[in-house]
Amino acid sequence: MNSSRYAVDGERLWNTLAALAEIGATPAGGVARVALTDEDRAGRDRFVSWVQELGCSVHIDQMGNLFARREGTDPGRAPVVIGSHLDSQPTGGRYDGAYGVMVGLEVLRVLHDHGIGTAAPVEVVSWTNEEGARFPPAMIGSGVYAGAFGLDEGLEAPGVDGTTLGAELARIGYAGDEPCGAPDGAGRRPIGHYIEPHIEQGPILEAAGVTLGTVTGVQGIRWYDVSIEGQSAHAGSTPMEHRSDAMVAAARLVCEADEIAARRAPQGRATVGTLATGTGSRNTVAGSVELTIDLRHPDAAELEAMHDELLACADGPTFGRQPSAASSGVRQPSRSLPRPQISPIWYSPPIVFDPAVVNAVRDGAIAAGFEPMDITSGAGHDACYVSQVAPTGMLFIPCADGLSHNEAESILPEHATAGAQATLNAVLSLAG
């Protein structure tokens, strides 16, 4: 039973999530609100209209990060901030990111309904381009805020469609003039404490039958672009021993990446999310292949070792001149496997969240009547960058089958309500 004095309105929260999901809705039940598209603008506009109904002020920084502020009684206190993101994958689900922002909205509504005066201000933030689907890498808005990227670097980020992030911010009317951040923190909006409610995007809570997860940290992530240049050749007339087959080299590398993670089970992760050939065809040996690799581990030393092993594999004897054997067992002339060229493009180190915020989230869940599970996030979140400059924590609710970044993404209304109640309890504790 919820032992806190004030309760969220679960039905209102659920209806708000449904109303937001109408913006960019896909036929399969998901959403397409890719960053800085017209749909993203419409989602931002809807959020702004909702918070303005509560008398909140709206602030937009130079990266388009969107803050709704409810003032506190102590002007000297930095705000307690709740947030996540409103942008989605091209075929995304209704709840990834949006859940955290809508929970923040519900907290503001409860404070407004009951006339609750908090000592610290309470803010809700929607960070720009968390997904990175249109403007890689991910989490640019919070990254610039925290000083991990320069402002010019963020605004000039090239889109996969030939646009730039800054130009599209201006086009949709969300290029703000408030300072976003700098390595020295000059002009950055202050955050006293930050809480990010989110769907788990994995199967652990659901498998354990647990409603709420207290997120203690986030595993580290390394991203790579890989190019392999072989030689196109006729599939029928080119003997195996005379081929420089980029696809075979890619297959070897994919298997090695998988083994690198498997040697560190159950915490290691390796994913080849995209693979494309050049101007290939059915009856042509692949002359070139481009692929991406994503390595993850919650321990920085282990992730560094995974990185070293991946690069060593590309430089090792797996590639170059390789012996081949005919079906008769007679040794044939050596064949050439082109060497992969691996370019590291992004590193997000493992994160350990602030104990005070983690404890506030845990206590908030207990006050809501639940026994939360401590959990490490397998996905990256804006909370990763925010944690570099402010005390930060996260809260997870289960999602069906651990499915996310998918139109079939699904959560239960009662789980949504439980997460919102735990967040409200934590905010009241931290804001005073």
The two structure tokens encoding residue 267 = 């915490």
The pLDDT of residue 320: 80
pLDDT digits (tens, 9 = 90+) for 189-216: 999 999 999 999 999 999 999 999 999 9
Q: Evaluate whether 197 touches 82 at the Cβ level (below 8 Å).
A: yes
Q: 220-347 in CATH: which number?
A: 3.30.70.360
Average pLDDT over residues 7-16: 98
Asked whether the whole model's pTM tops 0.95, one would answer no
Evaluate if residue 331 carries a pLDDT over 90. Answer: no
Q: Evaluate whether 148 touches 110 at the Cβ level (below 8 Å).
A: no
Average pLDDT over residues 28-53: 98
Evaluate if residue 325 carries a pLDDT over 70. Answer: no
Evaluate if residue 111 carries a pLDDT over 90. Answer: yes
pLDDT digits (tens, 9 = 90+) for 15-39: 999 999 999 999 999 999 999 999 9
DSSP-derived pairing of the beta strands 320-325 and 288-297: unpaired
Evaluate if residue 156 carries a pLDDT over 50. Answer: yes
pLDDT digits (tens, 9 = 90+) for 343-375: 999 888 899 999 999 999 999 999 999 999 999
Domain boundary assignment for the chain: 10-219+350-431, 220-347
Q: How far apart are CA 373 and CA 204, in angstroms?
A: 10
Evaluate if residue 94 carries a pLDDT over 90. Answer: yes
The pLDDT of residue 181: 77
197: CB partners within 8 A, 6+ apart? 82, 84, 99, 100, 103, 104, 394, 395, 396, 397, 419, 420, 423
Nearest of 26, 37, 40 to residue 97 by alpha carbon? 40
The pLDDT of residue 182: 64
Average pLDDT over residues 107-136: 97
The pLDDT of residue 185: 61
Across the chain, what does the average pLDDT equal?
A: 93
Q: Higher model confidence: residue 186 or residue 114?
A: 114
Q: 10-219+350-431 in CATH: which number?
A: 3.40.630.10
The pLDDT of residue 186: 66
pLDDT digits (tens, 9 = 90+) for 272-307: 999 999 888 999 999 999 999 999 999 999 999 999
Evaluate if residue 398 carries a pLDDT over 50. Answer: yes
